[in-house]
């Protein structure tokens, strides 16, 4: 249980309107909650210490933690985490060589029925839910000396708290992580379990081939369906949760449900988007009072967000953090779908920005006939493409193309020249020239009329005239 409020630089939040009686009630509740938190931390949960009483003589030390010989078939190697209720060790199965993580109840809590039940309940969640986002538990045992422990899968990666301490996560990655938290909570809530302690320390991010995969940890204070009030009964007047992520109903010690977890998800999403905790106060009393009364700001008031998703992100966070839980999303599944839609729009916008710009040039209109008329380049003919058109019927022949203006002028001059030659030729030559002129004239007429080129070959060849002909 955290004892101190967040100590980052203060960020003002506008307080919710309430009458004097409401303020006094909230302050009294906050003071009572602080007192019970301190009493639980100092009396029931002293600071974590290494395991004692099971140590071998002369064992070497690793990372300041004494190695012990066995817990069942496992040999403990090193301490990798500590909490108010227990410690977590890296261990190795003696026969199989498999590395696991072992969580032990602290020896000073041995024999405490409440904490032992919590340990057993946490171990059972894995079997009840059966989801990849929940840590798998292999063994559960209670030693004769009162030590309770269970073995679970050893995770390689970082807690979300560690990731956020090192850098600000990209928006797309933050949305994906929170969406996976909702995916993890969906089967948990459908099984009737309320986590009650969603926070960055309890979210573990594993690297799966270059992509993030979220594991939800620490169901030690979860409310199970079989005994929804058992935990509170064994720890009277204790406020359960981590204050910066507690829903208002948790601060009051009231009944919680799956929407209490969604409040914590909203607080976590706010922190990932802005780099700040939701409420930053100097004392626990002020912090708990802010959870109950203060209206949180929306993320876009703290940081610049892409315009395409800004309004949706503000709306999702505001609804998750609603004081009235009836105004929060109805389920983790619903919240996951909303986050998926926002992430898809963000990805579409990113893809559009990353796509190379292609300049589209509209072609200028070209008059094909004018282009042919002024072109000085000779037309080339590929003999391999020649088609025998003589075998085709007249109705199968292609329509004639219009003659370019230059060709028509050339034909006209040729016709004129032929006529002039007829008039100027001697009388003796007229007889021989006339058939040739007649043939040329028919060819010219056909050209001007636009007859198909293949029909021109049908004209009689021009006969040559010589002086020796009679």
For 431-466, the pLDDT digits (tens) are 454 555 455 555 555 555 555 544 444 444 444 444
**From 19-33, 290-304, 345-359, the region with the lowest mean pLDDT:** 19-33
Give the residue numbers annotated as catalytic, written as ranges.
Answer: 197
Candidates 250, 239, 268, 272; CA nearest to 194 is: 250
Q: What is the DSSP letter of 97?
A: -
pLDDT above 90: residue 8? no
Instruction: Give the pairing of strands 137-142 and 148-153.
Output: antiparallel
Residue 163 confidence (pLDDT) above 50: yes
pLDDT score of 323: 95
* CATH number belonging to domain 42-154: 3.30.200.20
Span 157-354 CATH architecture = Orthogonal Bundle (1.10)
Mean pLDDT of the chain: 74
Q: Are 181 and 213 in contact (CB under 8 A)?
A: no
Which residues of the chain does CATH 1.10.510.10 include?
157-354
Domain with CATH 3.30.200.20 in the chain: 42-154
DSSP state of 157: E
By C-alpha distance, which of 135, 119, 253, 245 is closest to 188? 135
Neighbouring C-beta atoms of residue 318, cutoff 10 Å? 18
The residue among 336, 51, 65 whose CA lies nearest residue 175 is 336
Cβ(354)–Cβ(201) under 8 Å?
A: no
N-to-C CA span, the chain: 133
Cα distances from 380 to residues 117, 383, 384, 455, in angstroms, run: 95, 10, 12, 21
Mind listing the pLDDT tens digit for each residue in 96-134? 999 999 999 887 888 888 888 888 888 889 888 989 999
| Percent of the chain predicted with pLDDT > 70 | 57
Q: Coil, strand or helix: which one is 330? A: coil
pLDDT tens, 335-372?
A: 999 999 999 999 888 777 765 665 656 665 655 545 54
Q: Which residues contact 69 (CB under 8 A, 6 or more apart)?
A: 54, 56, 59, 75
Predicted pLDDT of residue 55: 38
């Amino acid at each position: 249980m955290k004892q101190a409020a967040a100590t980052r630089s203060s960020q003002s939040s506008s307080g919710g309107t309430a009458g004097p009686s409401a303020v006094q009630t909230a302050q009294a509740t906050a003071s009572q909650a602080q007192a019970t938190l301190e009493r639980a931390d100092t009396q029931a949960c002293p600071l974590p210490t290494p395991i004692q009483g099971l140590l071998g003589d002369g064992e070497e030390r690793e990372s300041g933690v004494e190695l012990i010989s066995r817990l069942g078939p496992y040999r403990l190697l090193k301490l990798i985490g500590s909490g108010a209720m227990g410690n977590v060790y890296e261990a190795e199965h003696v026969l199989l060589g498999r590395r696991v993580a072992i969580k032990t109840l602290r020896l000073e809590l041995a024999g405490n029925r409440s904490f032992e039940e919590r340990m057993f309940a946490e171990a059972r969640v894995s079997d009840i839910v059966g989801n990849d986002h929940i840590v798998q538990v292999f063994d559960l045992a209670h030693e004769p000396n009162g030590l309770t422990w269970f073995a679970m899968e050893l995770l390689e990666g970082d807690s979300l708290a560690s990731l956020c301490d090192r850098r600000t996560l990209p928006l797309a990655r933050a949305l994906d992580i929170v969406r996976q938290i909702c995916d993890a909570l969906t089967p948990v809530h459908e099984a009737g379990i309320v986590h009650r302690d969603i926070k960055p320390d309890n979210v573990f991010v594993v690297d799966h081939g270059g992509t993030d995969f979220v594991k939800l940890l620490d169901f030690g204070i979860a409310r199970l369906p079989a005994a929804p009030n058992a935990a509170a009964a064994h720890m009277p007047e204790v406020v359960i949760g981590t204050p910066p992520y507690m829903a208002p109903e948790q601060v009051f010690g009231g009944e919680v449900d799956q929407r209490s977890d969604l409040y914590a998800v909203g607080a976590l999403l706010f922190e990932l988007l802005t780099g700040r905790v939701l409420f930053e106060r100097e004392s626990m009393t002020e912090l708990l009072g802010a959870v109950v009364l203060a209206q949180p700001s929306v993320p876009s008031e703290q940081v610049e967000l892409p315009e395409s998703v800004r309004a949706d992100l503000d709306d999702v966070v505001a609804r998750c953090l609603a004081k009235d839980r009836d105004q929060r999303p109805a389920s983790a599944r619903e919240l996951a779908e909303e986050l998926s839609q926002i992430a898809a729009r963000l990805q579409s916008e990113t893809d559009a920005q990353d796509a190379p710009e292609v300049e589209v040039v509209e072609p200028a209109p070209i008059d094909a006939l004018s282009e042919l008329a002024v072109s000085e380049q000779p037309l080339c003919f590929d003999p391999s493409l020649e088609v025998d058109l003589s075998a085709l019927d007249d109705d199968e022949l292609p329509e004639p193309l219009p003659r370019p203006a230059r060709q028509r002028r050339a034909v006209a001059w040729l016709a004129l020249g032929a006529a002039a030659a007829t008039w100027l030729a001697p009388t003796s030559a007229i007889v021989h020239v006339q058939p040739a002129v007649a043939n040329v004239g028919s060819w010219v007429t056909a050209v001007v009329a636009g007859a198909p080129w293949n029909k021109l070959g049908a004209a009689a060849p021009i006969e040559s005239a010589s002086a020796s002909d009679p």
